């Protein structure tokens, strides 16, 4: 089962925190205008970046 929880800490302006458990999602290549810092506690993932 997939689940996502968002949290906005008022002491850290402009930062959204996300905790997710995603076990069965596949996505097409896409882009985001935001920056993301991720930590994986379990499992694996493939992340592709655009080379400049």
Question: Where do the structural domains in the chain lie, given as residue ranges?
Answer: 1-52
Residue-level pLDDT at 34: 79
With bands split at pLDDT 50, 70 and 90, how would you rate the model's confidence at 33?
A: confident
Element holding 8 (H helix, E strand): strand 3-8
C-alpha 44: how far from chain center:
13
Find the mean pLDDT for residues 21-50: 74
> How buried is 14 (Cβ within 10 angstroms: 0-12 exposed, 13-18 middle, 19+ buried)?
exposed
Q: What is the DSSP letter of 16?
A: E
Answer whether residue 24 shows pLDDT above 80: no
Find the mean pLDDT for residues 30-51: 74
Provide the whole-model pTM. Answer: 0.50
């Amino acid at each position: 089962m997939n689940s996502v929880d968002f949290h906005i800490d008022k002491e850290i302006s402009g930062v959204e925190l996300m905790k997710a458990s995603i076990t069965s999602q596949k996505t097409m290549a896409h882009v985001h205008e935001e920056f993301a810092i991720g930590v994986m506690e379990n499992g694996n993932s493939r992340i592709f970046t655009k080379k400049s």
